[in-house]
Amino acid sequence: MGLALVLTLFAGLCLLVQWLGVGLALAALWRKPAGGPAVLPAVTVLRPICGIENFLEETLESTFRADYPTFELIFCAADPDDPAVALVQRLMARHPAVQSRVLTGDDKVSGNPKLNNLVKGWKAARYDHILMSDSNIILPPDALRRCMAEFTPQTGLVSSPPIGIRPDGFWARVECAFLNSFQARWQMAASRLGQGYAQGKMLFWDRQVLETAGGIAVLGREMAEDVASTKVVRAQGKVVRLPGKFFEQPIGARKRDVVWNRQVRWAKVRRLGFLTLFLPELLAGAAFPFLAMLALVGMGAPLWVMPAFVTLWYGAEYLLAAAGDWPRAPPDLAAWITRDAMLPALWCAAWAGNSFEWRGNAMTAAEIAKDKP
């Protein structure tokens, strides 16, 4: 078999996988809800807070506007003097009709600081359906209804990937390129194939599922609670489902180093949590098939194959972004290309050690391993 044929088959196979992934993601976007209970059960919403971030007042206040029969809000802060506590107290005063409270203090149950912050809220929750949502996610009024619509006897957890919106600057667009038509795409594709997995930004639990596994502390047995959550659900023969429409995260401005460090951290989490799924990520973007096409042109293929390949590759991604109503302006195409150029380097960086820093807290695989039975 000649080299030109090998390169052609490789690029063609990568392009086929690109379109199959987008097709599965579109099918996940357009599917009907799984069902849900006839009577909506009461829900507890837990939101960890730590410092003041861009858009924090907007994202936290969105929780108070839930269109749902019975729910309570619990905001969790490790430090009672955290400036976000005062913001939450103002929001509570602004919405006195909503059941809400702030709990402070840190319960050291794992090496995961976010999980330690949430333990007190989990224990204090009045209701048996519990949504754990990061503070930088907008919860629309129908968020709880969307999640409950996915609960069936086989549902162990409902989880939504964050959708990046309102990027300010090029690197913020790169952040959206990772979140939206890349990470969310593959999460949707996996869900459509019956292999759904959790994303730690939003975890909607039936309390009994997690308690059967040993309680909230078991989520500290992996480097990230999304990996642990997925394993808990699968161990009980249940599935992770996605809501019909995903929840948004306002991005604002981002610096290059911040985007890089966050993606390296997430890549390490995937490598340590699901190695067999992480390994193929090296070929997930356009970088290697693009190089194959470039080599073909160097071997005599017509020049038009390059723009044709780029159009087909990113045309699929544009279709998905349009279907989801995600950022897709011309600068976003440059961000998609930049993301794909970064992917091989990120894959390699993920092998450089088993530790990372999250909000000033050092997390290591060795420390997490201490919490495993």
**Model confidence over 196-215: pLDDT tens digits?**
999 989 999 999 999 999 99
- Mean pLDDT for the stretch of residues 250-257: 96
Q: In whole angstroms, what is the distance from residue 6 CA to residue 58 CA? A: 52
Q: Name the 3-class secondary structure at 129.
A: strand
- Mean pLDDT for the stretch of residues 301-324: 95
Q: Is the pLDDT of residue 369 over 80?
A: no
Overall pTM surpassing 0.85 (yes/no): yes
Residue showing tokens 């340590």 = 272
Whether CATH 3.90.550.10 fits 34-255: yes
Beta-strand ranges (E) seen in the chain are: 43-49, 71-77, 99-104, 129-133, 155-159, 162-168, 202-206, 239-241, 247-253, 355-358, 361-364
Can you list the alpha helix ranges (DSSP code H) found in 149-250?
A: 170-178, 185-192, 207-213, 225-235
pLDDT of residue 357: 64
Q: How confident is the prediction for the chain on average, in pLDDT?
A: 92
The domain limits of the chain are 3-26+271-351, 34-255
- Mean pLDDT for the stretch of residues 302-308: 94
Q: In whole angstroms, what is the distance from residue 285 CA to residue 141 CA? A: 35
- Residue environment code for 60-70, b if the CB has 16+ CB neighbours within 10 A, otherwise e: bbbbbebebee
Give me the DSSP letters along 265-321. Answer: HHHHHHHHH-HHHHGGGGGSSSHHHHHHHHHHHHTT--TTHHHHHHHHHHHHHHHHH
pLDDT of residue 224: 85
